[in-house]
Structure 1
Amino acid sequence: MASLDPRTRMHYRAARARRIDVGSLWQRARETSREHSRWTPVVLADMLWSAGVRQVGFQDYVDYDFAILNRDERATYMTHPVSNELSQRYDDPRHRGLFHDKLAFNRTFEKFLRREWMTITPENADELRSFVERHGTIIVKEPIGQAGSGVHRYRADAVTDWSAFHGGLLDRGELLAEEVIVQHPDLAAYCPGTVNTTRVTTFFDGDRTHILAVAQKFGRGAVSDQMSFGGFYSMLDDDGRAVGPGYDSHGNVHEVHPDTGERISDFTLPMLDEVKAFIDEVARVVPTVRYVGWDVVVTPTGPVLVEGNWAAGVYENKPSVTGIRTGHKPRYRAAIGF
């Protein structure tokens, strides 16, 4: 097995050390100690040791309940520092821009979007009006953004001055307009007001696409299902079933969806086989960007692609919520060999 580059690890640790917010770290330790009945100084020391020696991010420590896990259980969890190393090693810097820039992404993965979209330019005000009126509601994105930032929803019946609307989008840098995705009824049952995406983390080894982890995200009616918009998630097993209630990084746990009352643990991703085949095809488009977190949505006619994240991030089990005390790291190791 190939080891990861120690220089990347050192640079990442140094950067993180320079950015440590002592107050925020202490607050995390206090919250963790209260939740798990641990002494705060012991938790704080363990967090620092885990970060420095075991590559466990502070938020990873909180989110995945490391305070109640033993050493062997902790070793099974994927963490953000390790994920960062994988991204730096296996995602070619020359092609990351195809994922970072949403306009470039849409051009590259046009075949898999399966929805109408357009670029907003100074010359196409009439085309934009026609696009919005044809679809009724549209999604508009800023080309560069993450965690749902720069994503907006506009309705045709709310526009009173089309020239001002077009000019405002240009001024704010909202340059990508897309048709709203119609999601599968099984997803809409949980939150009809937000398109609920499925995060599929993969590694392409040059021949095979390995699915490393799958998480189902649930929105709260906002334009995005990201946590910054009140969203949460549950991990899915190999059969596409939720392994337990939903949760987020803010300490919220949802046995049922707060808005519809649907039980999260009853969720099963529809068209799982189609999703797997779809992801395998998508992962081969840019084979030099090998470690990716894909966001897809299952529609009544099959999966569609929302975006791909070359810095894949991490979605993992939360033991205190699911009762599952192991993570996905062994799958990463088996597929990638580190």
Structure 2
Amino acid sequence: MASLDPLTRMHYRAARARRIDVVSLWQRAREASREHDRWTPAVLADMLWSAGVRQVGFQDYVDYDFAMLTRAERDTYMTHPVSNELSQRYDDPRHRSQFHNKIAFNRTFAPFLHREWMTITPDNAKGLRDFVERHGTVIVKEPVGQAGSGVHRYRADAVTDWAAFHTGLLERGELLAEEVIIQHPDLAAFCPGTVNTTRVTTFFDGERTHILAMAQKFGRGEVSDQMSFGGFYSMLDDDGRAVGAGYDSHGNVHELHPDTGRRISDFTLPMLDEVKRFIDAVARVVPTVRYVGWDVVVTPAGPVLVEGNWAAGVYENKPSVTGIRTGHKPRYRAAIGF
């Protein structure tokens, strides 16, 4: 098996060391110590050792309950520093812009979007009005953003001055307008006010698309299901079933969806076989970007693509919530070979 690049690892660690927020680190250590009844200085020391030696991000340590796990159990978890190395190694920098820029992404993956979209330019005010009025409600995005930033929702009946609306979008850099996705009833039953995306992390080895992990995200009625909008997630097993309650990186655990009362552990992703075939197809479009976190939505007609993240990020199991004390790193290693 090939080892990951030590130079990339060194640079990443140095950059993280320069950015350490001591107050935030202490708060994370206190959070973990309270939850797992451990002495805070011991947890802090363990966090620093884990970060420096075992490539465990500080938030990874908290989110995945490392304070309650053995070393062998910890070693089964994918972490953000390791994920970053995989991104740097397997996602060709010459082609990352096709994922990083949402307009470029829509152009590249147009056959898989299954919804109408348009770019907003200085000369298409009338076209924008026609588009918004035709759809009633639209999603407008800034071309570059992450974690749901730069995503907005607008209603046609709330616009009183179309010229000012068009000018305002241009001035704020909100340049991509999309038709709202109509999600499958099984997803809408949990949160009808937000399009609930499924994160499927994959590695394309040149011949086969390996599904490394699947997570179902749940929104709270906002424009995005990201945590910055109150969203949370649950990991899915190979049959598309939620393995337990939902959780986020802010210490919140949801046995039931807060808005609909649906039990998160009862969720099963519809059309799983179609999702797997769909993911295999999209992973082959830009084969030089091999490690990707795809966000898809299952609609009544089948899966549609929302976006692909070349810096895939990490979604993992939370032992204190699910009772499962192992993560997904063995799947990553088996598929990628590191």
SS at match of 1:95: coil
| Superposition map of 1:74-153 within 5 A | 74-153=74-153
Question: How far apart, in 1, do the equivalents of 2:215 and 2:244 lie?
Answer: 11
Does residue 314 of structure 2 align to residue 314 of structure 1? yes
Question: How far apart, in 2, do the equivalents of 1:20 and 1:122 lie?
Answer: 42
Correspondence for 2:266? 266
Correspondence for 1:45? 45
Structure 1 stretches of 4+ moved >3 Å:
none
| Superposition map of 1:64-79 within 5 A | 64-79=64-79
Question: How far apart, in 2, do the equivalents of 1:171 and 1:134 lie?
Answer: 23
1:36-60, CA deviations, whole angstroms, 9 ceiling, x for partnerless residues? 0000010000000000000000000
Question: How far apart, in 2, do the equivalents of 1:41 and 1:144 lie?
Answer: 39
1:14-70, CA deviations, whole angstroms, 9 ceiling, x for partnerless residues? 000000000000011011111100000100000000000000000000000000000
Question: How far apart, in 2, do the equivalents of 1:127 and 1:155 lie?
Answer: 16
TM-score normalised by structure 1 residue count: 1.00
Give the residue type in structure 2 aligned to 1:227: M
Q: How far did residue 71 of structure 1 move?
A: 0.6
Give the residue type in structure 2 aligned to 1:100: H
1:142-185, CA deviations, whole angstroms, 9 ceiling, x for partnerless residues? 00000000000000000000000000000000000000000000
1:79-125, CA deviations, whole angstroms, 9 ceiling, x for partnerless residues? 00000000000000000000000000000000000000000000000
Q: How many residues matched?
A: 338
Q: Unmatched 5+ residue regions in structure 1?
A: none
Q: Unmatched 5+ residue regions in structure 2?
A: none
Give the residue type in structure 2 aligned to 1:164: A
Give the residue type in structure 1 aligned to 2:300: P
Correspondence for 1:305? 305
SS at match of 1:296: strand
Give the residue type in structure 2 aligned to 1:231: G
Correspondence for 2:331? 331
Question: How far apart, in 2, do the equivalents of 1:236 and 1:15 lie?
Answer: 33
Q: How far did residue 265 of structure 1 move?
A: 0.1
SS at match of 2:201: strand
Correspondence for 1:6? 6
| Superposition map of 1:182-193 within 5 A | 182-193=182-193
| Superposition map of 1:165-314 within 5 A | 165-314=165-314
Question: How far apart, in 2, do the equivalents of 1:210 and 1:50 lie?
Answer: 28
Paired-residue identity, %: 89
SS at match of 2:111: helix
SS at match of 1:234: strand
Give the residue type in structure 1 aligned to 2:271: M
Does residue 31 of structure 2 align to residue 31 of structure 1? yes
